[in-house]
Amino acid sequence: MIDFHSHFLPDVDDGSDSVETSLAMLHESWRQGVRLMFATPHFYADEDDPESFLARRSEACAQLREAIEVRQELEIPDVLLGAEILYFPGMSVAEELRALSMGSTPFLLIEPPMIPWRDTMLDEIEQTGENLRCIPVIAHVDRYMRMLRDASLFDRLRDRRVLTQVNASFFIHDSERALDLLRQNRIHFIGSDCHNMDERAPNMGAAEEIIRLDGASEYLGTINERIFSLLERQQQL
């Protein structure tokens, strides 16, 4: 399984607050069957720039790498680096955002703000893909459906040149709808969006079990293939 969205890097955002927590999150993910995990720290353009973000991300990786070397017996997934970019007006001409893509893939994970979606925002996200020669992925669409109480959001993305990521919790809390969308190939990536080992802990295993029991495991294979076919090289820790 691939976890496409997580916050396990230590001390870079509101995710893991220590190297120990990061190791626990990685090991727990591995235990649940995750074999590749994208680190997607938050990127907020109004308080950060890509260059300093990348420096902080590298620093966090270096700390984690050191701890992994000491704990070589610990089983953990392979790790690739990415970002969760908060949408901002003007992002479609921010060429420097390309450096924040997911591993060596052209996928750019974009998080809309938690307010009703305007068409102009979706237009600009599509334009970002075109201008930056990347493929926008809308982060945790299910979370907006739940928090904005808007069941139409998936339909609004249907004819747009963007892909969708949902959280593993979608399968746990709204499994019928999640499985339907998975079978219609309208869910392109799944992530835990894990932040810690408490209330936002790794949970890909529970989602995988629901998908497997429903006989839909082949769709997880499709997701893996979508990622592996575009991964040129692994940026492992």
Q: Binding residues for Fe ion, per CB under 5 A?
A: 84, 193
- Would you say 128 or 167 has its CB closer to Fe ion? 167
Sheet holding 84-86, edge to edge: 42-43, 84-86, 107-111, 135-138, 163-167, 189-191
Q: Shortest distance, CB of residue 5 to Fe ion, whole angstroms?
A: 6
Q: Shortest distance, CB of residue 230 to Fe ion, whole angstroms?
A: 21
Q: Shortest distance, CB of residue 195 to Fe ion, whole angstroms?
A: 7
Closest residue to Fe ion: CB criterion: 193
Q: Shortest distance, CB of residue 167 to Fe ion, whole angstroms?
A: 8
- Give 65's DSSP letter: H
Task: State the burial class of residue 197 (Cβ atoms within 10 Å of its Cβ: 0-12, 13-18, 19+).
Answer: middle
Q: What's the first-to-final CA gap in the chain, in angstroms? A: 18
- Would you say 124 or 193 has its CB closer to Fe ion? 193
Q: Residue with structure tokens 């139409």?
A: 152
- Would you say 84 or 208 has its CB closer to Fe ion? 84
Closest CA to 5 of 31, 25, 27: 25
Q: Shortest distance, CB of residue 139 to Fe ion, whole angstroms?
A: 6
- Would you say 86 or 182 has its CB closer to Fe ion? 86
Backbone angles phi, psi at 113, to 5 degrees: -70, 160
